[in-house]
Chain A
Amino acid sequence: MDSRQNIKRLLTLGLILLSCLVLFFAQGFLSSFNIRILNLAAIFVILGASMNLVLGFTGMFSLGHAGFMCVGAYVSAILTMSPASKELIYYMEPIIPPLANVHWPVFPAIVMAGVVAAFFGFLIGFPALRLRDDYLAIATLGFGEIIRIIVTNTITITNGSLGLKDIPSIKSLWIYWGFAIATIWILKQLINSSWGYAFKAIRDNEIAAEAMGIDVFKHKLLSFTVGAFFAGLAGALMGHLITSVDPTMFRFLFTFQILLIIVLGGLGSLTGSVIAGVVVTVSMEFLRFVEQPINLFGLIIPGIPGMRMVIFSLLLLMVILFYRQGLMGTREFNWDWILDKLGVARRKERGVA
């Protein structure tokens, strides 16, 4: 058993080194287009993992994710934009004085974005988490929309529907994937802690969990707030990736895009969210070729815009019909499984030892 433990540690270390190496080479050799797609994938990984914590691990059907992203994106944007460009962009009504001269570095601003989003999550979760199932979904959906409408109407803070631009741009893969990996690690630690077991207990049977002495409300609120924190983080990163934000970006349809990722990946599997997040984002770009005119042995098919989405719909349909658990179900990536698959040799080794 000991040798297996060591092998696993070595493998983990190797994987970390390998990912660093991959990131290093990707940063150096990939085109700016590919890097952008990978960065977007990292954002969707964070979104998928954090929504999975709320929906897949704690069993709360919350649809407010886009709203928290909106908060995060705006907080980070307002904190990091230079006072000069703020003056230029708020041309309808000037921004209120305390915010006009704020000029933070990017990193603390992104973390702050998460904190503010978490605070909003806490405020919203407090009344809404007394609801269950569909009612919770409706309430959180409503709150997500309320956040967006508030942002649209507070023109002296957010510039309303005109949106913000000239947000400092971040292009480095290290930052996006750094945040993504940190998110996964923190969520994994949380899920494997006693808190995490309580989350799963609540998901499987709320009444039984309560009978076992779990403070259901407290745990739900924690899960919801942590989910909102990472949604805010992802929203901030999204702002820095696109360098402009406006309220229409965060319509509730956006939440369904994240939902697609976690359903495909498996409700209750971080690994699934990571895989699906990357696959969905990358193939969304990659599948563009189906919208181009195709020449199939002399038969010319004109390009139809929207074909990409049809493919995703079919994929989702198949998953729902034939494979409800999604790609990973509730399983996680784990070395034991790989070692077992690699086969007899390992077992023999262990037997000898």
Chain B
Amino acid sequence: MEGYESHIYLGEVNGGTMFKKKYVTVITLLLVAAFALAGCGGGGGEKKDAAQDAASDVIKIGVYEPLTGTNAAGGEMTVEGIKLANQLFPEVLGKKVELVIVDNKSEKQEAANAVERLVSKDKVNVIIGSYGSSLSMAGGPIAKDAGIPVIGCSPTNPAVTLGNDYYFRVCFIDPFQGTVMANYAFDKLGAKKAAIIQDVQQDYSVGLNNYFEKSFKKLAGEDAIVAKVNYNTGDKDFSSQLTAIKDKKPDVIFAPGNFTESGILVEKARELGITCPILGGDTWESEEFLNRVKNTKDVYFSTHFDSTQPVTEMSKKFKEEYEKAYAGKQVNAFGALGFDSYILALDAMKKANSADPKAIRDALAGTKDFEGATGLITLDTNGDATKTAIIKKVADGNFVYEGKVDPK
């Protein structure tokens, strides 16, 4: 149609299109050539790598984390911790450890691709990842089929390790966090009535709330939860939810969620004159959240790690080295969890005295009282860590250590 018209009326434009067509053909050819060349190069390199592996004996640890997309901030912090651990402990069993870091774009299909790539192309011995439970769930079955063990840094959804013998994690899970906060609210804060605010779109928020509700009801009676309201990720106005809660006069509000929404929510709650303590989970430990809630008090949350209260020798070491390596950045829990995943992987190889994935898996399954930066880690039959939770509060414009809760 277009060609027809230009033929009749627009001779010159036709010439122009011809030129452009040639131009595009050239670009396309260039791109194809570039791909082909790079492809050959890549292929050749692979073979060389494989040859090198056999000769120089490198142990590969694959890392899949979200380095771009919505979860990029968390992924980046984790990778920093892993890289730091790699610098401090670059060798195991007399072999060099090589990190293969791949981005999963905060997307499930990319996470699946990334793990498939790590197990079948890079042939890694063990995998670390990923920030975000749904990303970990996408990668899990592939690693299981390939028989490669995975150590999760911070996926807290119980379903990640459920029915997957090859998935372990160094963080505690949602049920534990929810239960810890319920106990804390009842025992330490003396709360008898609690209100729940949840982000229905976040499995994390829904999971924590579910277990908080169960435990709190057990402690304070069936009608101890006076209100349960929902919001969605991305919401900016929480006044209707908070007004509804205010009328019920709870002793405590449990509102785990993303740091962005939670920050606005806490700020608004104080603005509306809600003075009761507000409790949350580990995602709150971030600069963005702190900036919002700096001037308030009675904000508590559970987390994995605190730099002022080193639980183990490794925590001290991690803190010192982290501050040296990443000057100007806050020592954070996600970095610590990444760090722990790496040293746990190395420890398992030492115990197994082998880099064979199956042997590593068996060694990991038997992990007991392993000394990590985030505390003593024991892995249960599901592969989940039972460990000490740290409770922090906001005071004087900063996060302050409040106490710790040991697993029962």
Contacts and interface: CB of A to CB of B under 8 A. Distances in A.
Contacts of A91: 158-159
B48 interface: no
Interface in A41-100: 85, 88-89, 91-92
B44 interface: no
B366 interface: no
B67 A286 contact: no
The range of chain A's interface size is 35 or more
B103 interface: yes
Given A33-B120, A246-B134, A322-B24, A152 B201 contact: yes
Given A32-B116, A169-B141, A249-B108, A161 B203 contact: yes
Interface string B364-375: 000000000000
Given A242-B109, A242-B138, A285-B117, A162 B103 contact: no
A27 interface: no
Interface string B20-41: 1001100100000001001100
B141 A243 contact: yes
Interface in A232-283: 238, 241-249, 283
Contacts of B121: 31, 33
Contact of A40 (B68, B72, B113): B113
Contact of A323 (B24, B102, B146, B230): B24
Main secondary structure of the interface of B (DSSP, over half): helix
B273 interface: no
Contacts of B202: 161
Contacts of B23: 322
Interface in B123-143: 134, 137-138, 140-141
B108 A162 contact: no
A265 to B, nearest CB: 13
Dominant SS at the A interface? helix
B181 interface: no
B330 interface: no
Q: How large is the interface on B (under 10, 10 to 19, 20 to 34, 35 or more residues)?
A: 35 or more
B200 A160 contact: yes
Contacts of B38: 286, 289
A9 interface: no
Given A92-B207, A152-B200, A161-B203, 4 more contacts: A244-B137, A249-B134, A283-B35, A306-B103
24 contacts: A32-B120, A32-B146, A33-B113, A33-B120, A36-B112, A88-B163, A91-B159, A152-B201, A153-B200, A153-B230, A160-B203, A161-B200, A161-B202, A161-B206, A166-B141, A204-B1, A242-B112, A244-B108, A244-B134, A244-B137, A247-B201, A248-B134, A303-B101, A306-B103
